[in-house]
Amino acid sequence: MQIEKKDIRALSKDQLREFFVANNDKAFRGNQVYEWLWSKGAHSFDDMTNVAKPTRAMLENNFVINHIKVDTMQRSSDGTVKNAVRLHDGLVVESVLIPTETRTTACVSSQVGCSLDCNFCATARLKRMRNLEPGEIYDQVVAIDKESRLYHNHPLSNIVFMGMGEPLMNYNNVIKAIDMITSTEGLGMSPKRIMVSTSGIPKMIKKMADDDVKFKLAVSLHSAIDEIRARIMPFSQNFPLKDLREALEYWYRKTKSKISYEYVVWKGINDDKASVDALVKFCKYVPCKVNLIEYNPIDDGEFQQASEESIMAYIKALENIGVVVKVRRSRGKDIDAACGQLANKEG
């Protein structure tokens, strides 16, 4: 019976060094291979040109590199690029490159499908099949960095975890991926240029604060009224706003990092004065900014974009209490809509 080979990127540098010592080789060989796997982005052991052929053959006999493959790439007239990313087991996730005049942002996925049930989101219609491994998350960023350099003549500026999946339900792998993205042995990006977006899981927000993470936090809020939020995001009945508020206050006390609220305004759902007033009140608890997002309809159902007047009511009320508000317009409208609300994000 053939033994399934382990993905070599699951090993730490120390574990790689130990593997080579156990196989009568020098420990420094582990450093070489580790560099090829991460900072040099090797897709196969044959890429490792400064490693002897017998050593490469030994690696081939013991391990695999479960690298992603960009299956299809779509480029929009506005510069947005959407990647359909095929994983080693044939499953597919999406990632998006979103350019502005001053930067490029990678929007990456953390799960295949999603275990939450947000009614407005296309990804929620896909059952969660599995979590992405750290290397699979990392590879999405590497691919988009290459596209940024190719199409926009500069390296990737920012990363947002706003693609398929709930990042905090794949916490350990997301943290490991960010560690490699920010490591000098990986991509060397500043954690301050990374934002993790969650639908709001209080205990995991507190855990991030306790773990002293350096990246930024965004929360998909969409309503500051429990009953309306439960209509939009049914799972949130398990995480009432009072618990979310407490977790966000804890986050700010520990990190002193301002929170971003992602907020879509829908016609007939959260476009009334009571919803505006509730958000204004919620924004007073913790220093924050608000991103009002233009909705990308996924069908002709109940979730439809609200009027400009409704958007302006939110902007005026929030600016009156000193909250910075940005309106995120939908990007890449001339290519297939990205999963969930990927195409709406500019970071």
- Kindly report, residue by residue over 303-321, the tens digit of the pLDDT: 788 889 999 999 999 999 9
Q: Is residue 249 part of a domain?
A: yes
Q: 110 labelled as ligand-binding?
A: no
**347 band by pLDDT with thresholds 50, 70 and 90:** very low
Q: Is residue 290 part of a domain?
A: yes
Q: 220 labelled as ligand-binding?
A: yes
Percent helix, percent strand, percent coil in the chain, to nearest 5: 40, 20, 40
Q: Is residue 338 part of a domain?
A: no
| Higher-confidence position of 273 and 341 | 273
Report, as an integer, the average pLDDT of 175-185.
Answer: 97
Please check whether residues 264 and 314 belong to one and the same domain: yes
CA distance 69 to 169: 24
CA distance 55 to 60: 9
- pLDDT score, position 306: 83
Please check whether residues 55 and 141 belong to one and the same domain: no
Strand 92-99 to 158-161 pairing: unpaired
Q: 188 labelled as ligand-binding?
A: no
Q: 221 labelled as ligand-binding?
A: yes
Final residue of a domain: which of 15, 30, 62?
62
Q: 248 labelled as ligand-binding?
A: no
In this predicted structure, the answer to whether residue 115 has a pLDDT above a threshold of 80 is no
**342 band by pLDDT with thresholds 50, 70 and 90:** very low
Q: Residue 280, Cβ neighbours under 10 Å: how many?
A: 17
Mean pLDDT of the chain: 89
339 is catalytic: yes
Q: Is residue 345 part of a domain?
A: no
**3 band by pLDDT with thresholds 50, 70 and 90:** low
Percent of the chain past pLDDT 70, that is, above it, reads: 88
Query: For residue 232, what is the domain's CATH number?
Result: 3.20.20.70
Final residue of a domain: which of 42, 62, 82?
62
CA distance 130 to 110: 9
Q: 222 labelled as ligand-binding?
A: yes
Q: Is residue 258 part of a domain?
A: yes
Q: 342 labelled as ligand-binding?
A: no
| pTM of the complete model | 0.90
Name which of 76, 109, 121, 151 is nearest 336 in CA terms. 76
Active-site residue identified among 18, 94, 185, 227: 94
Please check whether residues 34 and 120 belong to one and the same domain: no
In this predicted structure, the answer to whether residue 124 has a pLDDT above a threshold of 50 is no
Please check whether residues 22 and 113 belong to one and the same domain: no
- pLDDT score, position 200: 93
Range(s) of the domain holding residue 49:
4-62
CA distance 95 to 163: 7
Query: For residue 16, what is the domain's CATH number?
Result: 1.10.150.530
Beta strands (DSSP E) in 133-255 are: 158-161, 194-198, 216-220
In this predicted structure, the answer to whether residue 197 has a pLDDT above a threshold of 80 is yes
Please check whether residues 143 and 219 belong to one and the same domain: yes
Q: 197 labelled as ligand-binding?
A: yes
338-to-202, 205, 315, 335 alpha-carbon distances in Å: 27, 26, 26, 8
Please check whether residues 161 and 194 belong to one and the same domain: yes
Active-site residue identified among 107, 133, 339, 346: 339
Please check whether residues 160 and 101 belong to one and the same domain: yes
107 is catalytic: no
In this predicted structure, the answer to whether residue 105 has a pLDDT above a threshold of 90 is yes
Please check whether residues 110 and 130 belong to one and the same domain: yes
Final residue of a domain: which of 62, 80, 107?
62
Please check whether residues 185 and 308 belong to one and the same domain: yes
Q: Is residue 233 part of a domain?
A: yes
Q: Is residue 347 part of a domain?
A: no
Please check whether residues 39 and 71 belong to one and the same domain: no
Please check whether residues 40 and 145 belong to one and the same domain: no
Q: 288 labelled as ligand-binding?
A: no
User: What is the number of structural domains in the chain?
Assistant: 2
Please check whether residues 15 and 117 belong to one and the same domain: no
Q: Is residue 343 part of a domain?
A: no
| Higher-confidence position of 343 and 115 | 115
- pLDDT score, position 340: 41
